[in-house]
Amino acid sequence: MILLDGKKTANDIKNEIAIKVASLVAGGGKKPHLAAILVGSDGASETYVNAKVKACNKVGFDSTLVRFNADVSEEELLAEVKKINNNSDIDGLIVQLPLPAHIDEMKVTETINPIKDVDGFHPANIGRMALNLPTYLPATPAGILELLERYKIETSGKHCVVIGRSHIVGSPMSILMARNNNPGNCTVTLTHSRTQNLKEITKTADILIVALGKAEFVTTDMVKDGVCIIDVGITRVKSDKTKSGWKLLGDVAFDEVSKKSSFITPVPGGVGPMTIAMLLKNTLVATAKLLY
Ligand code: NAP
């Protein structure tokens, strides 16, 4: 079994980005600049946004964090998005999701200029992804592709089963694995909560990508020998063995399933760190105006 070390791979990518930024700036170019909008004070969202801002600083990007109270009006939020769209110093913009219920998330996403949509969530960029055109790929699926590529995992002709069909992970992942690309060229089965006989399907997977948000859902009887497992799930559970009193679990029962796997991502330290690295990569692409 080979552990897919997302932490190390993400650090390698961040170092590569830092070198590119230094040479961009040395050549008289501008520093990449990422803006993030955070609405409210949800603990998980705060953690994610702070990690993104910290990562920007580490690779030499400029960053701007715009905060709003949870009761901000949709109008005010949209006005800020438009202001950033028109700010030529800012290359990439992300709005941390989820947003409070009174705000239409899709309306906010559609208001972001696709040129600055480094999360890759705008319908124009999702469409470009589906058509195999150059675009910003959503960061988590892009991180998974990067891991498959860097660990030289053969995907062509394989059966890839994806569990979960969210807009940010499962659905784009299924499209990417089916594209005529490397990584890609898989025969893909996308499963969700209405799927019947899930176990019969997962047992035929050469590559199993799990993103449903249920701790240790995938057990050893659900996979075949030699499977490659990508575990996207992150669930925080109480633990009396850690100082914080919490630990993170993936969607896969790691201890038992890893014994049958050829490759597997750990949680934490697998897909999670890759997500931020891919956001930085997208921002660098936005700065260099490589897409549009
Ligand atoms: P989500 O929006 O909650 O979607 C969950 C998906 O799982 C849905 O499509 C749902 O089906 C499906 N599902 C639920 N129960 C199922 C079951 N018993 N069998 C088969 N499918 C089932 O989730 P998400 O945003 O994609 O996140 C999934 C997990 O990944 C979470 O733990 C999240 O924290 C984590 N995550 C990690 C990263 C990272 O960087 N590592 C990034 C994003 C998310 P229906 O569509 O039918 O409801």
Distance 181 CA to ligand 1 centre (A): 25
Helix 139-150 × helix 271-287 angle, to 10°:
100
Task: Answer yes or no: is the C-beta of 213 below 6 A from any ligand 1 atom.
Answer: yes
Measured distance CA(168)–CA(242) in Å, rounded: 30
Tokens matching residue 159: 């059966």
For residue 292, pLDDT over 80 is answered with: no
- Calculate the alpha carbon distances from 37 to 46, 80, 93, 102 in Å: 11, 9, 8, 16
Give Cα separations from 82 to 76, 116, 187 (angstroms): 10, 11, 40
Task: Characterise 60 by phi-psi region: left (phi > 0), alpha (psi -120 to 50), beta (else).
Answer: left
Res 140 pLDDT > 90:
yes
Q: Is the CB of 167 under 6 A from ligand 1?
A: no
Give the integer Cα–Cα distance in Å for 250 and 217: 8
Measured in Å, residue 250 CA sits from the centre of ligand 1 at 11
Work out which ligand 1 atom sits closest to the CA atom of 211.
Answer: 28
Q: How far is the CA of 211 from the centre of ligand 1 (A)?
A: 4
Establish whether residue 234 lines the binding site of ligand 1, counting it when its CB lies within 6 angstroms of any ligand atom.
yes
Is residue 119 part of the annotated active site? The answer reads yes
Could you tell me the pLDDT band of residue 35, with boundaries at 50, 70 and 90?
very high
Look up 104 and say whether it is catalytic. Answer: no
Nearest CA to ligand 1 atom 16: 193
**Mean pLDDT, the chain, whole residue set:** 97
Residue in 52, 231, 251, 281 annotated catalytic? 52
pLDDT per residue over 74-93, tens digit each? 999 999 999 999 999 999 99
Atom of ligand 1 nearest to the CA of 235: 32
Model pLDDT, residue 291:
81
Q: Give the pLDDT band (50/70/90) at residue 289.
A: confident
Closest atom of ligand 1 to 276 CA is 40
Percent above pLDDT 90 for the chain: 96
Does the beta carbon of 198 sit less than 6 angstroms from any atom of ligand 1? yes
| Residue of minimum CA distance from atom 4 in ligand 1 | 166
User: Does 281 qualify as catalytic in the annotation?
Assistant: no
SS (H, E, C) the chain: CEECCHHHHHHHHHHHHHHHHHHHHHCCCCCCEEEEEEECCCHHHHHHHHHHHHHHHHHCCEEEEEEECCCCCHHHHHHHHHHHHCCCCCCEEEECCCCCCCCCHHHHHHHCCHHHCCCCCCHHHHHHHHCCCCCCCCHHHHHHHHHHHHCCCCCCCCEEEEECCCCCCHHHHHHHHHCCCCCCCCEEEEECCCCCCHHHHHCCCCEEEECCCCCCCECHHHCCCCEEEEECCCEEEECCCCCCCEEEECCECHHHHHHHEEEECCCCCCHHHHHHHHHHHHHHHHHCCCCC
Structural domains of the chain, ranges and CATH numbers in brackets: 29-113 (3.40.50.10860), 139-273 (3.40.50.720)
Residue 34's DSSP bridge partners are 63, 92
Catalytic residue among 91, 117, 119, 231: 119
Q: What are phi and psi of 34, to 5 degrees?
A: -105, 130
**119 touches 139 (CB < 8 A):** yes
- Please report the pLDDT score of residue 169 as a whole number: 97
Distance of CA 290 from the midpoint of ligand 1 (Å): 32
Nearest CA to ligand 1 atom 25: 166
Residue with tokens 């799990």: 210
Cα 217 to ligand 1 centre (Å): 11
Token readout for 153 is 């995992």
**Does the pLDDT value for residue 56 go beyond 90?**
yes
**CA distances, 155 to each of 197, 225, 252 (Å):** 24, 16, 21
- Pick the catalytic residue from 96, 116, 117, 231: 96
Phi/psi at 257 (nearest 5 deg)? -70, -35
36 C-alpha to center of ligand 1: Å?
A: 23
Task: Give percent of the chain with pLDDT exceeding 70.
Answer: 100
Which residues, in sequence order, are bridge partners of residue 188? 160
